[in-house]
């Protein structure tokens, strides 16, 4: 319940931030044929720079603003974290099949991670800041198991995976 309220507030803040930043350049996010292609592009062009204000003012950066920054060469000046990777991947994989964002809550109750999960003709997949991976299924249990393995060395332990609406 707390995560649902947080996600709603974050989406509203993201849209407000995007409205404020409306004059900034935008570019169309390319549509990739496969999630592997989208993830490879992300790995090459999108740096993880971290949350603004240590996460206190966290928001989704509109993927078209992120794409413009990539194309114009100032991407490293932006605050880019997991939700920005996930929302960019959500748009970049629009032609590959169904997809949804998931917010993963860690055991402390406040920490979280956002991923893009989809299904194409080969089955389920996920993209996040660590890259692309195939999933055996899209169940909450599988998502938690896989991402707890991915982040095993970080001290984070995810306990909930919540489907999250694309904020734009």
The b-or-e profile of 111-147 (16+ CB within 10 A means b, else e) is ebbbbbbbbbeeebbbbbbbebbebeebeeebbbebb
Mind listing the pLDDT tens digit for each residue in 53-107?
655 568 889 999 999 999 999 999 998 999 999 999 999 999 998 999 999 988 8
| CA 120 – CA 57 distance, rounded (Å) | 34
Which residues of the chain form beta strands (DSSP E)? 98-106, 112-120, 123-128, 131-134, 158-164
Mind listing the pLDDT tens digit for each residue in 36-45?
999 999 999 9
Q: pLDDT at position 109, please?
A: 63
Across the range 115-121, mean pLDDT stands at 96
Highest average pLDDT, of 19-23, 50-54, 81-85, 107-111, comes from 81-85
Model confidence, pTM: 0.89
Confidence tier at 22 by pLDDT (50, 70, 90): confident
Confidence tier at 125 by pLDDT (50, 70, 90): very high
């Amino acid at each position: 319940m707390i995560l649902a309220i947080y996600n709603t507030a974050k989406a509203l803040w993201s849209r407000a931030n995007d409205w404020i930043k409306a004059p900034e350049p935008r570019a169309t996010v390319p549509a990739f044929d496969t999630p592997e292609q989208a993830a490879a592009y992300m790995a090459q062009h999108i740096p993880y720079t971290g949350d603004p204000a240590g996460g206190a003012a966290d928001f989704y950066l509109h993927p078209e603003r992120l794409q413009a920054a990539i194309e114009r060469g100032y991407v490293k000046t932006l605050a880019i974290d997991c939700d920005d990777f996930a929302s960019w991947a959500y748009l970049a994989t629009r032609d590959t099949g169904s997809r949804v964002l998931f917010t993963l809550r860690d055991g402390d109750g406040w920490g979280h991670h956002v991923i893009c999960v989809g299904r194409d003709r080969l089955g389920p997949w996920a993209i996040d800041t660590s890259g692309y991976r195939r999933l055996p299924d899209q169940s909450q249990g599988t998502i938690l198991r896989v991402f707890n393995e991915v982040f095993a060395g970080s001290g984070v332990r995810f306990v909930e995976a919540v489907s999250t609406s694309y904020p734009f």
